[in-house]
Amino acid sequence: MNVFDWLHGLPLSDAAKPFPIMEISFNTGSRKEFYKNTSAYHFEKGDWVAVEGVGGFDLGQISLQGELVKLQMKKYGITDNSEIKKVLRPASESDLALYQEHKSREQEIMVRSRAMARSMKLDMKIAEVELQADGKKGTFFYTAEHRVDFRELIKVFATDFRMKVEMRQIGARQESAKVGGIGSCGRELCCSTWLTDFKTVNTAAARYQNLSINQTKLSGQCGRLKCCLNYELDTYMDALKGFPSDADTIETAQGKASLQKRDIFRNLMWYSYYGSNKQYPITIDRVMEIRNQNKEGIKPEELGAIEIEKHGKLEVEVDKGFVNDVGQLSLKALERNSRNRKKKAAKPESEAKASGNENANKQQRGGGNKGQGKSNQPKPKNPNQPAKTPSNNPDQAKGPNPQKQKNPEANRPPANVPADPNSSDQPQQAKKEGGAKENRRPPRNRNRGDKQGKPDQSNTGGESPQPKGAE
C-alpha cells in the first residue's frame, strides 16, 4: 500500500544527514523489510533497487524512507545495531527483465507444488510462492492446522525446481492478506492494505457492542472473527463505565425484570419481564433508584419506562432483536411474486388460444352443416321476387347511411348544377315523372336578380315543373 510520508518536509540541520535505513516492499507489498543504504546513490520513494539476497540479489521497491522509518523500526523492535542487509544499486533494465521472467513462473510452480504435497498426503495448503529476482531461491508460504513433516517434500522441490527452498508457515489471516479481496463494508481488506499486526478477537467484543452473536456475520474472509470488531471496542468500554454493573436483574410489583441491553447512545437500559418479549427503556437514574429500593426490600409498582420519540410520534420502542441495516428479504415473498408474474404472462396466451378455438368452432358450424344450417346469403323479403345481386357501386354495398336518412335535403344536389345524363339517378327520376303526380317540391329560384321568379330551365335538365294551378 502506498503510505503518505507526513514527515517528508521535516527540516534538518546542516550537519544532519538523512536516515540511511529504508523500508523495501516485495511482491506488491505482501512482504516488507528494512535495508541500509551504504552506497553513494540518492533514492526516492517508489524507486526499484537491488538488495542483498540469498546467494544472489533481489529486487524491491522503496515504500518508506526518512523519519517514519524510525517509528516503524521502534514498532517492530528493530534497532540500528541489528544485522540489516544493504542496498546494492539501482535496478537496471536487465535486472527488471530477469525479475519479470521469474515472476511469470510463480503460478506454475505453485500448482505443481500443491500436486506434489497432495501426492505425499500432507495435510497442508500452499498459499503463495515467491521467487527471488535471480531465481536462486524460492519461498513457499503454507497454512496447516497441525505440525507437518515436510523434509521429504523439500528434497522433491529442490530437485524438481532446481533452487533453494524455504518453507514458511502462516495463519489464516496472513493468507487472506496475501490473497486480498473486498470485505462486507465494500472496501479492500484491511489486512491486505494497511493492517500489519493481528490482535486476538473474541466474541466478548461483539457482546459489549450489542451485536448479534452470528458467526456468519461476524466472520471475515479468513474464517476468523473480523479485525474491525476491535476498532470501536475501547470507545464502548469507556461509555459503559457510567452504567451500573450490578443491575442485571431488578424487582417490581409486577415481577422480576432482567437486563437485555445497554444503549450507550441514549444512556438507556432495556429490561423485560420473565416470560415476555416486550422490552422497556429505563434511564440510568431510574435503574439505580429501583436497585436501592430493592436492597431495602421495597418493590416499586412499575418500572417507569420512558417514551421515545420516533419519527415525530411518541411511542414506547420495543426491541425486536437484530435487524439488518439494508433490510431483510423473505424468500416466500419473492417466490409469491414470481408466481404472480408467471400467471400474468400465461393469461394472454390462454385467452389467445380460447379465441382461436371459438373462431375455429364457428367456421366448422358454418361450413359443415350446409343443408341444415342457415345460409350466409340474405333471403329476399318477398319470396316471389328474386334475390338482389350485389351491386358494383361501393356506396350501395356499404348499406344505407343513417346520416342521409335523417336529413335527406342535405344530400340533394345544388340547383344550378346541370344533371349528368350518364348518372344512375336518371332512371329513378324518369320513373317518378311517369307517375300521376310529382311529390317533389319545386326548386327555389337561386337567381335573385329575376324579380318575376321565373324558373331556371337548366335546373331540371328537362321540362320545367308545372305551377300549382297548372293542373
Q: Each residue of 328-341: pLDDT tens digit?
A: 555 666 677 778 88
Look at residue 41 in the predicted model and tell me its pLDDT.
Answer: 87
Range of the structural domain that residue 52 is part of: 21-91
Please tell me whether residues 44 and 27 are part of one structural domain: yes
Mean pLDDT of the residues in the chain: 76
**Does an H or E element contain 87, and which?**
strand 87-90
Residue 412 lies in a domain: no
- Check whether residue 121 and residue 157 sit in a common domain: yes
| The pLDDT value given to residue 82 | 73
CA distance 356 to 1: 69
Say yes or no to pLDDT of 300 above 80. Answer: yes
Is the same domain home to 77 and 109?
A: no
Tell whether 47 is covered by a domain.
yes
Domain end (from 50, 70, 91): 91
Closest-CA residue to 33 (of 8, 67, 4, 58): 58
Domain assignment present for 370: no
Confidence of residue 230 (pLDDT cuts 50, 70, 90): very high
| Residue 189 confidence (pLDDT) | 92
Say if 382 falls within a structural domain.
no
- What φ, ψ does residue 213 adopt, rounded to 5°? -80, 80
Residue with cell 454493573: 245
The model's pLDDT over 9-65, given as tens digits with 9 standing for 90+, comes to 666 544 557 788 999 999 887 888 999 998 888 888 889 999 998 888 999 999 888
Q: Which tens digit of pLDDT belongs to each residue from 211-220? A: 888 888 999 9
Residues 227 and 261 in one domain: no
Residues 195, 206: Cα–Cα separation, whole Å: 20
Q: At what angle do helices 106-119 and 151-161 cross, to 10 degrees?
A: 140
* % the chain with pLDDT above 90: 32
One domain, residues 230 and 275: no
More confident of the two residues 346 and 205: 205
Structural element, H or E, at residue 273: strand 268-273
Q: Which amino acid is at 285?
A: D
247 shares its domain with 307: yes
Average pLDDT of span 281-298: 90
Q: Is the domain of 231 the same as that of 250? A: no
The pLDDT value given to residue 431: 45
Same-domain check for residues 228 and 271? no
Shared domain for 226 and 268, answered yes or no, is no
* 470 in a structural domain: no
Whether the CB-CB separation of 130 and 141 falls below 8 Å is answered with yes
Give the pLDDT confidence score for residue 9 in this predicted structure: 63
Is residue 345 classed exposed, middle or buried when 0-12, 13-18 and 19+ CB atoms within 10 A define those classes?
Answer: exposed
Residue 372: band (very low, low, confident or very high) from pLDDT cuts 50, 70, 90: very low
Identify the residue whose cell numbers are 338482389. Answer: 388
Predicted pLDDT of residue 139: 94
For the chain, percent of residues with pLDDT exceeding 70: 65
**Span 346-363, mean pLDDT?**
67
Give the whole-angstrom CA distance, residue 249 versus residue 256: 7
Residue 154, pLDDT above cutoff 50: yes
In 3D, which of 212, 208, 213 has the Cα closest to residue 232? 208
Number of neighbours of residue 268 by Cβ within 10 angstroms: 21
Amino acid 100: pLDDT: 93
Q: How confident is the model at residue 384 (pLDDT cuts 50, 70, 90)?
A: low
State whether 220 and 252 are in the same domain. no
- Check if the beta carbon of residue 169 is closer than 8 Å to that of residue 145: no
Residue 418 has pLDDT above 60, yes or no: no
Strand order from edge to edge, sheet including 137-143: 125-131, 137-143, 164-169
Do residues 86 and 121 share a domain? no
- Lowest mean pLDDT across 74-83, 129-138, 343-352, 423-432: 423-432
Phi/psi of residue 57, each to 5°?
A: -130, 165
Question: What pLDDT sits at residue 440?
Answer: 57
Establish if 32 belongs to a structural domain: yes
- Asked if residue 259 belongs to a domain, the reply is yes
Lowest mean pLDDT among 4-13, 317-326, 353-362: 317-326
Q: What is the pLDDT of residues 156-204, one digit of tens each?
A: 999 999 999 999 999 989 999 888 899 989 999 998 888 878 888 999 9
- CATH code, domain with 124: 3.30.300.20
Residue 215 identity (one-letter amino acid) = Q
**Any domain includes 145:** yes
Q: How many domains does the chain have?
A: 4
Place of cell 457482546: 207
Beta bridge partner(s), residue 61 = 25, 48
Are 248 and 309 found together in one domain?
yes
Residue 375 has pLDDT above 90, yes or no: no
> Which residue reads 420512558 in cell numbers?
306
pLDDT in tens, 120-132: 999 999 999 999 9
